[in-house]
C-alpha cells in the first residue's frame, strides 16, 4: 500500500498540479465517471460534520473523507480535514491513503480557477470575495493565476477578519481592500462566495452584466449563498448536475428549470458545450465538490511523489 502523509502532500501540491488534475476530473465527470450519493454525518461535538464522497472511472476508484470542526479555530488549526483513499481497480483492496487537508484547499480553489478560465470575461480585473476564512484566501490566489486581477474586494461579517484577509493577500502580492456587499458586487467582474452561509449574501440587482459568479461554499442541504432570482437570467454551470441540484447551490432553484439550463463544466472543457458567449452574459458556476476531483488529485500526487523519488510504499 502507498501512503502520503500530510507533510509530504503539502510539499507536493501546487496550484498548477491542482488545476491540471481538476480539469481532467471535470472532463471525466462529464464523460465516463460514476459518482455516488454523498454521505453526510455529524460528529459528537456541536456543529461538527464529516462526509464521504465516492466515485469511479475506468482508471480510478475510491473516496474522500472530509470533516469540518469549527472549534479548531481556537486550536489555531484549520477547521477542514481531508483524506483520499484509492482502491486497486483489479482487487478492490486499499492501494493508497493520502492525507490531504492542505491539498483540499488547493483542490477546491482549482475548481474555481478552472471555471473562471472558461466562463469569466478575458478582461475581468476586479474580484469580490465573500468570506474571510482559510478557503477564501486560496480562492483568490488561484483565480488571480488565470485572470489579470488588479483588485480584490473582501466582504466579511467581521471587519477585523476582513482586514486580516486584506493583509494576507497583500503578502502574496495581491492588491485588496475591505468592502461592503453592495459596493463589491457592483464593482466586481468576478464574484466568489466561500462561506458557510444559509441565506443569500447579496441581492441579484447588484450584479452587473458580464459578471461571472463562482459559488464555492454550498455542499449540504440548507446552505445557500446566492439569490435564486439570479438563476433565471444567468447561464448556469456546475461540477456535477445531479449533485448540484440536491446539495449544491442550485437546490434553491426550480429543479426542472435549473436542470434544463444547467451545463457541466467538463462539457465546456471538452468542447461539447459552450462557455461564455459574449461580454454581457452573467455566468454562475456551482461547485459542490465531487469525488472525481479528489481521485485525480490523489493520482497526480502519487505520480509527483514517485517522480521526486519519495518512498511511499508501506
Query: pLDDT over 70 for what percent of the chain?
Result: 100
CB-based contacts of 67, cutoff 8 Å, min separation 6: 43, 48, 49, 50, 51, 80, 81, 82
**36: nearest Cα among 295, 300, 215:** 295
Query: What 3-state class would DSSP assign to 238?
Result: strand
Q: What is the pLDDT of residues 275-292, one digit of tens each?
A: 999 999 999 999 999 999
CATH no. of 2-104+292-307: 3.30.1780.10
Q: What is the pLDDT of residues 98-132, one digit of tens each?
A: 999 999 999 999 999 999 999 999 999 999 999 99
Q: Which residue has the cell 483568490?
A: 140
* Superfamily classification of domain 111-289: NAD(P)-binding Rossmann-like Domain (3.40.50.720)
pLDDT score recorded for residue 263:
97
Q: State how far the Cα of 227 lies from the Cα of 252, in Å rounded to an integer.
A: 9
Residue 311 has pLDDT above 80, yes or no: no
pLDDT score recorded for residue 161:
96
pLDDT score recorded for residue 241:
93
pLDDT score recorded for residue 255:
84
**Domain ranges for the chain:** 2-104+292-307, 111-289
Q: What is the pLDDT of residues 7-18, one digit of tens each?
A: 999 999 999 999
pLDDT score recorded for residue 213:
98
**Residue 34 designated active-site:** no
180-207 average pLDDT score = 97
41-64 average pLDDT score = 94
**16: nearest Cα among 147, 150, 107, 101:** 107
Q: Are 169 and 152 in contact (CB under 8 A)?
A: yes
pLDDT-based confidence at 73, cuts 50/70/90? confident
Q: State how far the Cα of 191 lies from the Cα of 193, in Å rounded to an integer.
A: 7
Residue 314 has pLDDT above 80, yes or no: no
Determine how many CB atoms are found less than 10 A away from the CB of residue 222: 9
pLDDT score recorded for residue 15:
97
Among residues 64, 161, 168, 255, the one annotated as catalytic is 64
Q: What is the pLDDT of residues 252-273, one digit of tens each?
A: 998 888 888 999 999 999 999 9
Containing H/E element for 264? strand 262-264
Residue 226 has pLDDT above 90, yes or no: yes
Q: State how far the Cα of 155 lies from the Cα of 162, in Å rounded to an integer.
A: 7
Amino acid at each position: 500500500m502507498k501512503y502520503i502523509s500530510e507533510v509530504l502532500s503539502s510539499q507536493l501540491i501546487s496550484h498548477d498540479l491542482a488545476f491540471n488534475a481538476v480539469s481532467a476530473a471535470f472532463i471525466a465527470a462529464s464523460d465516463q465517471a460514476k459518482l455516488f450519493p454523498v454521505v453526510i454525518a455529524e460528529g459528537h461535538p456541536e456543529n461538527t460534520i464529516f462526509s464521504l464522497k465516492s466515485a469511479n472511472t475506468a482508471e480510478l476508484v475510491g473516496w474522500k473523507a472530509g470533516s469540518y470542526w469549527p472549534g479548531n479555530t481556537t486550536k489555531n488549526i484549520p477547521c477542514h480535514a481531508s483524506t483520499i483513499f484509492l482502491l486497486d481497480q483489479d482487487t478492490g483492496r486499499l492501494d493508497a491513503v493520502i492525507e490531504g487537508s492542505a491539498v483540499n484547499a488547493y483542490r477546491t480553489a482549482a475548481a474555481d480557477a478552472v471555471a473562471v478560465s472558461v466562463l469569466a470575461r478575458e478582461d475581468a480585473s476586479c474580484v469580490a470575495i465573500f468570506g474571510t476564512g482559510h478557503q477564501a484566501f486560496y480562492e483568490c490566489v488561484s483565480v488571480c493565476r488565470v485572470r489579470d486581477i488588479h483588485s480584490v474586494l473582501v466582504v466579511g461579517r467581521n471587519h477585523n477578519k476582513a482586514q486580516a484577509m486584506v493583509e494576507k493577500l497583500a503578502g502574496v502580492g495581491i492588491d485588496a481592500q475591505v468592502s461592503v456587499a453592495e459596493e463589491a458586487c457592483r464593482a466586481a467582474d468576478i464574484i466568489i462566495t466561500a462561506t458557510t452561509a444559509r441565506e443569500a449574501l447579496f441581492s441579484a440587482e447588484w450584479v452587473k452584466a458580464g459578471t461571472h459568479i463562482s459559488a464555492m461554499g454550498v455542499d449540504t442541504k440548507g446552505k445557500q449563498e446566492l439569490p435564486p432570482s439570479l438563476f433565471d437570467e444567468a447561464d448556469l454551470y456546475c461540477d456535477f448536475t445531479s449533485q448540484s441540484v440536491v446539495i449544491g447551490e442550485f437546490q434553491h432553484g426550480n429543479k426542472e428549470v435549473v436542470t434544463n439550463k444547467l451545463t457541466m463544466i467538463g462539457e465546456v472543457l471538452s468542447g461539447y458545450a459552450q462557455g461564455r458567449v459574449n461580454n454581457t452574459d452573467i455566468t454562475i458556476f456551482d461547485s459542490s465538490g465531487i469525488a472525481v476531483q479528489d481521485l485525480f488529485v490523489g493520482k497526480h500526487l502519487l505520480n509527483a511523489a514517485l517522480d521526486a523519488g519519495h518512498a511511499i510504499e508501506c
